[in-house]
């Protein structure tokens, strides 16, 4: 099992409102998750500023090309990641969707763990993605002292765990300190592990197939 633990430094926390310059993109699919505060998005496919509320997210499918800009409100905390959906994306026009918090409601399992299945898995997708094999889920331990989560990364895939808050105990065999806020862990090569999410823990996971460059 191959695991790499790091402290995330690319998460955004804006102390003052700021507007980012306009950028040109093609092919990539960009996901932006808003945890706190509010941001706004503009691009040449919609030609309007659209707010992204706390608890919501947006998907920018740049396809054959677009320009976009962002406004980040004071106190906004969020996370953005880019995916490569493959060369076929260049044949599709750019599209954009914003998902309010009401569209991203978690499901409570029998152990009291709150699970938000954004895309992939057995549940209907909450968001539309053009990235083959993409799997994104969020686990929130809002009830009980400890909630167990089993993580499996199939061969030919990679995954990233991102701790949004709380405390997550790792298997003793890893000889690692628990995950805390803003810690990340990369998993590769058929990794399997069991996590103990203590009350208040909040974990976000992204899993994708490996692709040839």
pLDDT digits (tens, 9 = 90+) for 43-79: 888 888 999 999 999 999 999 999 988 888 888 888 8
State the Cα angle at 11 between 6 and 13, rounded to 5°.
135
φ, ψ of residue 103 in degrees (nearest 5): -90, -5
Tell me the CATH number for domain 2-8+105-209: 2.60.120.10
- Tell me how crowded residue 24 is: count the other CB atoms within 10 A of its CB: 10
Do 12-103 and 2-8+105-209 have the same topology in CATH?
yes
Domain boundaries, the chain: 2-8+105-209, 12-103
Q: Which pLDDT score is estimated for 12?
A: 47
pTM confidence score: 0.86
Query: Could you report the average pLDDT of every consecutive run of 10 residues in the chain (213 residues)?
Result: 47 50 82 91 88 93 92 85 94 94 92 92 87 95 89 93 94 86 89 93 94 61
Q: Which CATH architecture has domain 12-103?
A: Sandwich (2.60)
The distance of Cα 145 from the centroid of its chain, to the nearest Å, equals 25
Q: Which pLDDT score is estimated for 19?
A: 53
Tokens of 96: 């954009």
- Tell me how crowded residue 33 is: count the other CB atoms within 10 A of its CB: 23
Q: Which pLDDT score is estimated for 18?
A: 53
The upper half-sphere exposure of residue 90, i.e. CA atoms within 13 Å in the direction of its Cβ, equals 2
């Amino acid at each position: 099992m191959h695991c790499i633990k790091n402290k995330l430094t690319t998460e955004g926390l804006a102390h003052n409102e700021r507007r980012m310059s306009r950028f040109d993109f093609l092919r990539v699919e960009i996901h932006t998750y808003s945890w706190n505060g509010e941001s706004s998005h503009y691009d040449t496919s919609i030609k309007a500023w659209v707010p992204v509320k706390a608890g919501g997210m947006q998907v920018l499918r740049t396809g054959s090309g677009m320009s976009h800009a962002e406004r980040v409100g004071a106190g906004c905390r969020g996370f953005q990641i880019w995916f490569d959906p493959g060369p076929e994306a260049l044949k599709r026009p750019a599209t954009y969707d914003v998902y309010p918090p009401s569209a991203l409601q978690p499901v409570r399992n029998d152990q009291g763990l709150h699970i938000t299945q954004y895309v992939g898995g057995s549940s209907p997708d909450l968001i539309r993605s053009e990235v083959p094999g993409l799997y994104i889920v969020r686990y929130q331990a809002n009830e009980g002292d400890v909630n167990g989560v089993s993580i499996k990364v199939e061969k030919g895939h990679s995954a990233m765990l991102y701790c949004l808050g709380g405390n997550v105990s790792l298997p003793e065999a890893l000889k690692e300190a628990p995950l805390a806020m803003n810690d990340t862990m990369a998993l590769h090569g058929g990794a399997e592990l069991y996590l103990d999410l203590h009350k208040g823990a909040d974990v976000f996971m992204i899993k994708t197939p490996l692709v040839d460059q």
